[in-house]
């Protein structure tokens, strides 16, 4: 399974490069002017329309920047199956035949309307409610490949061929991350929020010392709440050990 790490500015791009990440997810809004700077830094570049984007601008971007990305979603409307289907039909009529369909609102019904070819990829968009999302994921046909858009919560679900996540930015932004531990995770807080968790933090930093060295993060940097150390910490504390446990480390990291 591939994990595409979201990058939305120069700091996140540089952090992912330093972490040896292979796969990156870019939204049109944050990459239309600089996508060329990502091409030679990552093995696979995946682009999405994102929010607050006009369809015509995204379609122009897809045509003119095709050499800089590997995968791209169709233009979609969150929670709106009908509009999303219309945009897919429009893209196909205009010769944009390489975009990946995005399922919205009701995965099974949406699939019945677009009828993708067996073994082709579709992306799972938004459904209201965690339980309903989980139920529909469980019922998906197994003759397709699936990418989970912002579906990090379902990473343990073996139905996905790939997912993307912005959770790795959480330590720097919200002073919180999940830590991998025996095929599950626990929450770790930093700074003022994590005062009472320092013994647990010290233990985690010792357990994943090798990973921290790979991404050039120090114990002092984390304990001092340095932004750039916290930005990379979840890669070492969560994603690297998780990928090793799921036997997909080489798909996602260089070192």
CATH number at residue 140: 3.20.20.70
Q: Do 89 and 213 fall into the same domain?
A: no
Q: Do 152 and 72 fall into the same domain?
A: yes
Intervals of the chain under pLDDT 70: none
pLDDT single digits (tens) 103-162: 999 999 999 999 999 999 999 999 999 999 999 999 999 999 999 999 988 888 789 999
Q: Do 193 and 138 fall into the same domain?
A: no
Average pLDDT, the chain: 95
**Contact present, 21 and 253 (Cβ < 8 Å):** yes
pTM above 0.85, yes or no: yes
Both structure tokens of 40: 């030679």
Q: Do 155 and 216 fall into the same domain?
A: no
Q: Do 228 and 137 fall into the same domain?
A: no
Quote the DSSP letter at residue 74.
P
Q: Do 175 and 206 fall into the same domain?
A: yes
Domain residues for the domain of 207 are 169-252
Both structure tokens of 169: 């930015």
Task: Give the three-class secondary structure for 144.
Answer: coil
Q: Do 154 and 206 fall into the same domain?
A: no
Final residue belonging to a domain, choices 139, 165, 191: 165
Domain count for the chain: 2
Distance CA 206, CA 22 (A): 25
Q: Do 138 and 175 fall into the same domain?
A: no
pLDDT at 154: 85
């Amino acid at each position: 399974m591939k994990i595409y790490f979201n990058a939305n500015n120069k700091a996140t791009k540089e952090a992912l490069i330093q972490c040896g990440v292979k796969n990156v997810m870019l939204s049109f809004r944050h990459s239309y002017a600089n996508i060329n700077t990502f091409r030679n830094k990552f093995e696979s570049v995946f682009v999405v329309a994102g929010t607050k984007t006009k369809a015509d601008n995204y379609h122009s971007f897809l045509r003119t920047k095709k050499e800089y990305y590997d995968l791209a979603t169709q233009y979609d409307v969150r929670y709106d199956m009908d509009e999303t289907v219309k945009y897919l039909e429009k893209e196909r009529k205009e010769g944009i035949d390489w975009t990946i369909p995005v399922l919205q609102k009701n995965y099974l019904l949406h699939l019945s309307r677009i009828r993708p070819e067996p073994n082709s990829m579709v992306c799972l968009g938004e459904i209201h409610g965690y339980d309903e999302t989980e139920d529909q994921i469980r019922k998906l046909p197994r003759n397709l490949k699936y990418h989970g858009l912002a579906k990090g919560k379902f990473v343990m679900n073996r139905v996905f061929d790939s997912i993307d996540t912005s959770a790795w930015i959480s330590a720097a932004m919200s002073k919180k991350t999940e830590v991998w531990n025996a095929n599950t995770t626990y929450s770790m807080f930093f700074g003022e929020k994590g005062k009472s968790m320092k013994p647990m933090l010290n233990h985690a930093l010792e357990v994943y010392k090798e990973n921290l060295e790979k991404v050039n993060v120090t114990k002092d940097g984390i304990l001092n709440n340095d932004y750039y150390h916290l930005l990379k910490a979840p890669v070492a504390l969560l994603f690297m050990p998780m990928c090793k446990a799921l036997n997909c480390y080489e798909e996602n990291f260089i070192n």
